[in-house]
């Protein structure tokens, strides 16, 4: 056994929640003095505090703010139910805003890393490999290549698509990584790696409803093997 305790560190105005090495309820009381037990390996993170332990010999704090209890835990609070509400404004950032705005014109815009030249679609504003901001906007597609896919046999709730259907990784022409989308306009068992596809938009849609075959010859494996 151990205890969860709120500890107000000397000099602090607020308490932190942490574990206290205590063999049982009788070993814990409000106002008791405790000290940090440091982890064997310290790396400069909160995990450096292995736990707290009783500070033997130190007098209890007189003004702990709560009356010491008698060690009887019959009325211990074991849980509370609280309503919570979270209001937030989602800001997708510069790169994704440009991506979303371009989609409204039925264009797909990625961003190229100035270092490794990879074109990210959708763009996140930075290249995670090189750690630099991506700034060059590059229109990709509209056609692309199926790099890999799965056949979906389980109907999703609130999704009016007959099963089985194919969900695929699609490398749009010019993109440095694949995005995913549904493949339509072809029997599910004829979809294949290398299949050339193009987006199909529906009225008022903010993104392609699905992708359908273009009728072009399949792409060479070498052309998309890095994008699977």
Tell the smallest beta-carbon distance from residue 116 to Zn ion (Å): 3
Q: Which of 7, 34, 113, 168 binds Zn ion (CB under 5 A)?
A: 113
Which range, of 63-71, 114-122, 152-160, 201-209, touches Zn ion by CB under 5 A? 114-122
Q: Could you tell me the maximum CA-CA distance found in the chain, to the nearest angstrom?
A: 83
First-to-last C-alpha distance (Å) of the chain: 49
**3 state SS of 95:** helix
Q: Is 28 in the site for Zn ion (CB under 5 A)?
A: no
Tell the smallest beta-carbon distance from residue 114 to Zn ion (Å): 8
Which range, of 41-49, 119-127, 173-181, 208-216, touches Zn ion by CB under 5 A? 119-127
Tell the smallest beta-carbon distance from residue 131 to Zn ion (Å): 8
Q: Which of 19, 50, 61, 130 binds Zn ion (CB under 5 A)?
A: 130
Cα angle 17, 19, 22; round to 5: 135
Nearer to Zn ion, 120 or 149 (CB): 120
CA distance 215 to 143: 11
Q: Is 119 in the site for Zn ion (CB under 5 A)?
A: no
Cis before 164? omega within 30:
yes
Cα angle 35, 39, 42; round to 5: 115
Tell the smallest beta-carbon distance from residue 29 to Zn ion (Å): 57
171: exposed, middle or buried (Cβ count in 10 Å: 0-12, 13-18, 19+): buried
Which range, of 89-97, 110-118, 170-178, 187-195, touches Zn ion by CB under 5 A? 110-118
Which range, of 28-36, 37-45, 126-134, 178-186, touches Zn ion by CB under 5 A? 126-134
CA distance 135 to 115: 11
Interacting residues with Zn ion (CB under 5 A):
113, 115-116, 127, 129-130
């Amino acid at each position: 056994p151990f205890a969860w305790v709120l500890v107000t560190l000397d000099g602090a105005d607020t308490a932190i929640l942490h574990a206290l090495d205590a063999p049982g309820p009788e070993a814990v009381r409000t106002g008791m003095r405790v000290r940090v037990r440091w982890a064997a390996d310290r790396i400069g993170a909160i995990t450096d505090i292995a736990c707290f332990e009783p500070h033997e010999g130190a007098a209890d704090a007189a003004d702990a703010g709560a009356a010491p209890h008698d060690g009887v835990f019959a009325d211990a609070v074991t849980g509370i139910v609280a309503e919570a509400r979270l209001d937030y404004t989602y800001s997708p950032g510069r790169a994704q805003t440009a991506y979303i705005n371009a989609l409204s014109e039925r264009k797909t815009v990625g961003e190229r890393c100035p270092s490794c030249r990879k074109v990210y679609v959708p763009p996140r504003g930075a290249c995670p490999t090189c750690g630099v901001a991506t700034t060059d906007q590059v229109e990709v597609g509209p056609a692309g290549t199926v790099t890999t896919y799965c056949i979906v046999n389980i109907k999703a709730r609130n999704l009016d698509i007959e099963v089985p259907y194919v969900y695929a990784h699609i490398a749009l022409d010019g993109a440095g990584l694949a995005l995913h989308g549904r493949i339509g306009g072809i029997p599910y068992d004829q979809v294949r790696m290398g299949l050339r596809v193009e987006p199909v938009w529906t009225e008022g849609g903010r993104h392609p409803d699905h992708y359908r075959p273009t009728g072009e010859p399949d792409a060479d494996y070498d052309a998309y093997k890095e994008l699977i």
